[in-house]
């Protein structure tokens, strides 16, 4: 564990946030195969957890992290697919549901923080529309394409105990 301190500009107030780096569960830990439950309300506890998940993801480093990867069986994912030379663009997504997914697929080399050094090419919907609760417990919708679409689908799979390597064996069957 490590901890570090960061200032966030939050509703025009500067809030002191202490974020923790959480241990990341690695395969084949059975926690990764469990199904996560919905979050009833996004409260302070959930907000703190999402800040810790982002800190953990950035430190790894990675572009996405799902709550079960830090041993929390709740439907929460965090993502930031901004490139190194771009401004950070953290997404905090609670109870995500896919409303629409394109038939057209896009293939990316995927990695997973629970499988260090594994990279696998997987075809997923090129575009998705997803509804979710944001960090203020508000219902939101996002349209994603490219790497963001793939990343959202990868992280959402984690919430149902599905791992990227499961897609491979499925295709080979
Ligand atoms: Ni993953």
* pLDDT for 14 beyond 60: no
Say how many Å lie between the CA of residue 111 and the centre of ligand 1: 7
Say how many Å lie between the CA of residue 1 and the centre of ligand 1: 20
Give the DSSP H/E element, type plus range, for residue 16: strand 13-21
| Ion ligand 1 neighbours, Cβ < 5 Å | 112
Mean pLDDT for the stretch of residues 135-142: 98
Say how many Å lie between the CA of residue 110 and the centre of ligand 1: 8
Name all contacts of 141-147 with Cβ < 8 Å and 24+ positions apart.
141/99, 142/91, 142/93, 145/106, 146/106, 147/63, 147/81, 147/108
Query: Distance from CA of residue 72 to its chain's centroid?
Result: 13
* pLDDT for 133 beyond 60: yes
Q: Which one of the listed residues 48, 104, 141, 155 is annotated catalytic?
A: 155
* pLDDT for 8 beyond 60: no
Q: What is the tens place of the pLDDT at every residue in 37-74?
A: 999 999 999 999 999 999 999 999 999 999 999 999 99
Question: Looking at residue 2, what is its pLDDT?
Answer: 45
CA distances from 47 to 19, 80, 117, 125, 130 (A): 11, 16, 30, 29, 20
DSSP code per residue over 83-140: -TTSPP--EEEEEEEEEEE-SSEEEEEE--TTSTT--EEEEEESEEEEEEE-TTS-EE
Q: What is the tens place of the pLDDT at every residue in 26-47?
A: 999 999 999 999 999 999 999 9
* pLDDT for 1 beyond 70: no
Say how many Å lie between the CA of residue 84 and the centre of ligand 1: 20
Active site residue 155: yes
Mean pLDDT for the stretch of residues 9-19: 58
Say how many Å lie between the CA of residue 87 and the centre of ligand 1: 23
| Residues in the chain, overall count | 173
Residue predicted with more confidence, 84 or 18? 84
Question: Looking at residue 18, what is its pLDDT?
Answer: 75
């Amino acid at each position: 564990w490590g901890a570090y301190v960061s200032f966030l500009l939050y509703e025009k107030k500067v809030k002191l946030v202490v974020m923790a780096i959480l241990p990341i569960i690695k395969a084949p830990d059975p926690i990764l195969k469990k199904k996560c439950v919905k979050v009833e309300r996004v409260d302070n506890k959930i907000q703190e957890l999402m800040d810790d998940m982002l800190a953990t993801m950035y430190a790894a480093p990675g572009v996405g992290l799902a709550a079960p990867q830090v041993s929390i069986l709740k439907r929460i994912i965090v993502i930031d697919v901004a490139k190194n030379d771009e401004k950070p663009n953290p997404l905090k997504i609670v109870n995500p549901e896919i409303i629409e997914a394109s038939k057209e697929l896009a293939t990316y080399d995927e990695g997973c923080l629970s499988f260090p050094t594994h990279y696998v090419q997987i075809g997923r919907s090129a575009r998705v529309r997803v509804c979710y609760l944001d960090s203020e417990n508000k219902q939101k919708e996002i349209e994603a394409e490219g790497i963001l679409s793939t990343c959202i689908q990868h992280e959402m799979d984690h919430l149902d105990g599905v791992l990227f390597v499961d897609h491979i064996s499925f295709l080979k069957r």
